[in-house]
Structure 1
């Protein structure tokens, strides 16, 4: 995935979060964005009456949103025009839309501000925790989803290797661990498009592990394992017990056993070790 594709995916997450903030609070206007090149660029808007907010980019420490990002906590004003606790760098945008009440909630990932979500109203009012609490929860949900994607991308980058490289045993084991971790991460991501991209990388990793092997002279049987069967088999390949696999994948131990048994039957293997070996031989696992 290119940087532009990653950026587009993250902006889609922000757009979903802004719509959710508007739905879950009484703010008629909602907007937000992530930090790009040092400033939070607003890329999603709901309910605005004008185009005044277009092009708004917020620097840390500046304005209500900048203060929220630095302090890592929500900031709110019931009368934006006369607020004295903030700088007014962005009056042309906020007052241009006619916003009187404004709430800024930071999006936090790994203890650092990643962006900011806003809720606004044209009238002056004291919103308090009635709208602030659900806005904070929306920002927290967005932060968790961004963290998942960051981890998936990190794993993808670590697992990348040039085609045709003869992997050392240590590198091959790291590749297999990354593959299993990607499988686990994919199950926690709701976006089908992102899961599909991860699945494509998983297939490339499985193929990569076999680049240094001798050419096969025998045909590969047509075996189709379900996604969950691959999940548990990938964890079993790392020597984990059924209980450990269940804890990592959020499955009951009995369910793990059932998936392993189904995979073993499809692979015509009498043990999990034989199933792993055959899955690797047939290119189903790295």
Structure 2
């Protein structure tokens, strides 16, 4: 059965994740894919000596990955060949690569398994916290990006063509989405993922602009944290609420807000938000 690759963005996402998995866990083989039509379609493989894993499609409930997908929890086979806790539907692919130890970690997004990442070794290898925790982190990073993409796509479907002004309700939805993206990005350590989140934020800010009102160019450069705070404040959040949302002290929030207001030459937070929106910094 041929594998479905999904969108280019999904393929690139899994390719990067599989590379990270191999690098962080130091397992010689790593592979994985997202779920489509009830099966995991493997689209990226790193470290394999042969081609037996190419085009692998793992059905739900079948094999180690199929169990991980359905149970939404990691599954481990220290000696894959003799394991009695899984079906052996995919022996031709797994044993064809000479794999002995196989570790499958599901990618779970808001309670739904969306894919599986695998670590593998040609010999029996222990899988303790040194291996498991990095694998969990990689899966969590993929889940975060998928969740962000899902939310952005959901919100953007309600946005009219750019030639039309946004209705008040749609504009408010977009602003809430933008603030949520800022909150998510603030808790992401992976620099590449933060960059992609910022790209999505810029798209949202551009989409919210009223084409009848030209943007005002300001010689202002706000720091990421100043934008985070301003985006939350734009929704009417108090300093205390902003701090709780971003994991900052209230005094730190006040400091960032004051700095943003100074840069924007604004005497109030409302004025700062208005100027940031007119400049295209905020949606």
Separation in 1 of the partners of 2:29 and 2:214? 61
Residue 164 (structure 2) aligns with: 165
Which of 253, 259, 281 lines up with 2:278 in the alignment?
A: 281
- Aligned residues: CA RMSD: 2.9
User: Structure 1 pair 210/180, CA: closer, same or farther in 2 (3 Å)?
Assistant: same
Q: Secondary structure at the match of 2:96?
A: coil
Separation in 2 of the partners of 1:239 and 1:155? 21
Shift of 1:60: 1.5
Separation in 1 of the partners of 2:252 and 2:119? 44
Indicate conservation of the 8 Å contact 1:184/1:248, yes or no: yes
Deviations 1:72-121 (A, max 9, x none): 34444444334444322212222222233444343333333333343444
Shift of 1:44: 4.1
1:128-277 correspondence to structure 2 within 5 Å:
130-160=126-156, 161=159, 162-211=161-210, 213-214=212-213, 220-277=217-274
Which shows bigger deviation, 168-177 or 230-239?
168-177
User: Larger Rg: 1 or 2?
Assistant: 1
Shift of 1:213: 4.7
User: Structure 1 pair 181/120, CA: closer, same or farther in 2 (3 Å)?
Assistant: closer
User: Structure 1 pair 256/47, CA: closer, same or farther in 2 (3 Å)?
Assistant: same
Residue 19 (structure 1) aligns with: 23
User: Structure 1 pair 10/80, CA: closer, same or farther in 2 (3 Å)?
Assistant: closer
Q: Mark the runs of 5 or more structure 1 residues left unpaired by the alignment.
A: none
| TM-score, with structure 2 as normaliser | 0.82
Whether 2:8 is the aligned partner of 1:4: answer yes
Indicate conservation of the 8 Å contact 1:77/1:103, yes or no: yes
Deviations 1:184-231 (A, max 9, x none): 222333444443343344334334333155457xx6442222222121
Indicate conservation of the 8 Å contact 2:107/2:140, yes or no: no
User: Structure 1 pair 38/246, CA: closer, same or farther in 2 (3 Å)?
Assistant: same
Deviations 1:22-59 (A, max 9, x none): x2xxx554433332443223344455433333332211
Residue 93 (structure 1) aligns with: 93
Q: Secondary structure at the match of 2:210?
A: coil
User: Structure 1 pair 137/110, CA: closer, same or farther in 2 (3 Å)?
Assistant: farther
Indicate conservation of the 8 Å contact 2:261/2:268, yes or no: yes
Deviations 1:134-170 (A, max 9, x none): 4443343233212321232133224432202222222
Separation in 1 of the partners of 2:203 and 2:120? 46
Separation in 2 of the partners of 1:254 and 1:136? 38
| TM-score, with structure 1 as normaliser | 0.81
Separation in 2 of the partners of 1:38 and 1:199? 32
Q: Mark the runs of 5 or more structure 2 residues left unpaired by the alignment.
A: 1-5
User: Structure 1 pair 147/51, CA: closer, same or farther in 2 (3 Å)?
Assistant: closer
Separation in 2 of the partners of 1:61 and 1:197? 33
Separation in 2 of the partners of 1:88 and 1:171? 50
User: Structure 1 pair 131/213, CA: closer, same or farther in 2 (3 Å)?
Assistant: same
